[in-house]
Amino acid sequence: AGNGDEPVNENGAENRESLHEENNGDHEEDECCGVRYTLETQVLKGLSDDQKKFHLEKMMKNIGNELRKELSDEWKELSAELVRLNIKKLKFTAKVVEAANDLRS
C-alpha cells in the first residue's frame, strides 16, 4: 500500500476497494478483535491466564459468524465514538489552558 500504484480518490486517500483486497486476509481477525478484547477485559478478567484462554476459545466458538460481525461493527462504532470524545476532551483542555494563560498575561 502507498507505493503510488493504487488508485486514490479526490482527497488523496487510497481506493477503498484496493484496501479491501489487501486486508481481506485480516478480515476475520479484525472482526474478532473487539469481541475478543471485551471478553478478555470485562467478562474473564478475574480468571488465571490458562482459565481465560480456555474460556475465551470456547466463547468465541459459541458466537456465530453473523453475530460476531454484528458485535464487531458495534465495537467499531463505540471505538470511533471514544476517539471523538477524546478529541473533544483535548480541545476542551486546550481551551482551559489557553484561558488560564490569558489570565496570567
Residue 53 · residue 39 · CB < 8 Å: no
Which candidate, 1, 56, 7, 14, places its Cα nearest to that of 33?
Answer: 56
Is there a domain that residue 85 lies in? yes
Greater confidence, 104 or 77?
Answer: 77
**pTM above the 0.75 mark?**
no
Is there a domain that residue 100 lies in? yes
Is there a domain that residue 18 lies in? no
Burial class (CB in 10 A: 0-12, 13-18, 19+), 76: middle
Min mean pLDDT across 21-25, 68-72, 82-86 is at: 21-25
| Backbone phi, psi, residue 45, to 5° | -65, -25
Cell numbers for 89, please give them. 476532551
Greater confidence, 68 or 25?
Answer: 68
Residue 80 has pLDDT above 50, yes or no: yes
Cell numbers for 73, please give them. 461493527
Separation of alpha carbons 2 and 27, rounded Å? 20
- How many domains are there within the chain? 1
Is there a domain that residue 14 lies in? no
Which candidate, 71, 66, 84, 81, places its Cα nearest to that of 38?
Answer: 71
Residue numbers of the domain that contains 51? 27-104
Is there a domain that residue 92 lies in? yes
Is there a domain that residue 41 lies in? yes
Give the model confidence (pLDDT) of 12-61 as tens digits: 544 544 444 455 556 667 778 889 888 988 889 889 999 999 999 999 98
Is there a domain that residue 10 lies in? no
